[in-house]
Amino acid sequence: MNFTEHQKSIISFVEIYSLPKNHRLHKAEEFTAVIRYKCQASSDLIQMYAKPNNLAYSRLGLIVAKKVERRAVKRNRIKRIFREIFRMNQREERTIQLDLVIRLRRPVDKNNSLSLSTEAKLLMLKLQQCHG
């Protein structure tokens, strides 16, 4: 299959900035193991759990409950924000490979998206230092 230069650039962009399925936590046992490890950091909006893994990459699990955020559109937007922060954090070379679970604690307004991302970055940094 022959690709044009534009298609090649799009493919390389997706490869660099995407979050592959194996970089996510899927099973309930994986979430439970991270939460039971009891290394956590909390803020006003989110709670984050971490557990070191023996993989060459970090993995992410997200908990955005219907009880906290009723509308699916809002839940999906919050998950996109968390995934983007996680992806950008992985770009740094000195990050320790962790399994992370991020749980939303209370509803987030659209105006609070910036504070949500700031809190998530700070908590990720705190958990990296905890294991470093």
Q: Look at residue 12 and tell me if it is in a domain.
A: no
Q: Is the pLDDT of residue 72 over 90?
A: yes
> 43 exposed, middle or buried (CB, 10 Å; 0-12, 13-18, 19+)?
middle
Q: Look at residue 86 and tell me if it is in a domain.
A: yes
Domain extent for 76: 22-131
CA nearest to 49, candidates 65, 38, 57, 59:
38
Q: Which pLDDT tens digit goes with each residue over 28-55?
A: 999 999 999 988 999 999 999 999 988 8
* Residue 42 bridge partners (DSSP): 47
pLDDT at 33: 94
> What is the tally of structural domains in the chain?
1
CA dist 42 and 120 (Å) reads 9
Q: In this structure, what CATH number is given to the domain that contains residue 33? A: 3.30.230.10
Query: What phi, psi does 93 have (nearest 5°)?
Result: -75, -30
pLDDT at 97: 87
